[in-house]
Amino acid sequence: MARQRNVWGSVRKLPSGRFQARYTVNGRVHSAPTTFATKRDADSYLANVRTELSKGRWLDPAAAAVPLRVYAERWMTQHPGLRPRARELDESELRLHILPALGDVAIGDLTVAAVRSWRSAMLRAGSPGPSTVAKCYRLLRAILNTAVEDELITRNPCVLKGAGVEHAPERPVVTIAEVYELADAIQPRYRAMVLLAAFGGFRLGELQALTRARVNLLHNEIEVVEQLHELKGRLLTGPPKSDAGIRKVAIPAALKPELEQHLAEHAAPGKDGLLFCGRQGQSIRRSNFNAAWQRARETVGLPHLHFHDLRHTGNTLAAATGASTKELMARMGHASPRAALIYQHAIRERDHAIAQALDDMINATKRETRQDRRGA
């Protein structure tokens, strides 16, 4: 076998007739990932590597050989700040949709074409849905962004324009009258949950975690500091979806008698007792609530309405009062942590005005309903 050396690396001719290029960095010998048909091609490869080294852009090809599966698992362990529910969703997306197709591919071998092919295959199959495909793409992009920071790869192959954007259909909005129909149709212990979701914009997990101490009927406010998570069958109480979710929400005065009755008849005892609970004071599981919710929505003729749609309805009703975008974001817990802190105190008076306007709308609907009944 003929071996030809230059001042930096070496090229040797293999028994097959092809050429192998090797070079040394920091005392360690590296080989080109492929062999070459001609010596000129091998020399050209070495020249390119030398250029990358001189510009500080060279990456160890052995490091880029780590399979995505191994790197993704390491990435998950190095992100302890993920919310419990977010971690569960990320793990599920990795297990079900990313790793089966790409898990055994080396980080350095992931190309734009490979990512495009993976995404297109999911979209063609129709499962998971487009929203989940977008979430999976964003997760893969986040993992590979870290791989770039770790100097395993020089460029993130997740560069498909718009691939991480969700185009979810517009959520339905129900009327105030329909909200009260749903509240009338559901089990009495869940009635106030329906009203607070619609007129306070609370998430289900936030309602599940509320205690008596968080309800201030003197000032018609409810404080959100945590929410209930269900992770693999376990119930865990943790922080809201984001830091902005920690907030005080002014509620319409029309809900005060509803909450007073609920506190008297259904809430668990003691200041730390759950506002919404089972008959023994235990946390409400989503499966139990969903069964009651499904019966209620079918009773009133809204079989496809999701409970979260009530939160969207609340946001829409609040917007109808003239609330600004910043006020709505703060009321719904959608602002970034920094924005939430900036506007937290500034919007308190305005938030009560929003609640008063909602109260006026509720009372107007009630009056119209009573008039309709008398007219009938």
Q: Decide if 158 contacts 291 (C-beta within 8 A).
A: no
Q: Which residues of 344-353 are buried (b: 16+ CB within 10 A; e: fewer)?
A: beebeebbbe
Taking alpha carbons only, the member of 160, 143, 183, 147 closest to residue 292 is: 183
148, amino acid identity: V
Catalytic residue numbers? 203, 308, 311, 334, 343
Burial of 322 (0-12, 13-18, 19+ CB in 10 A): exposed
Q: What is the spatial distance between Cα 104 and Cα 115, in angstroms, rounded to a whole number?
A: 14
Q: How far is CA 315 from the centre of its chain?
A: 19
- What is the Cα–Cα distance from 183 to 190, expressed in whole angstroms? 8
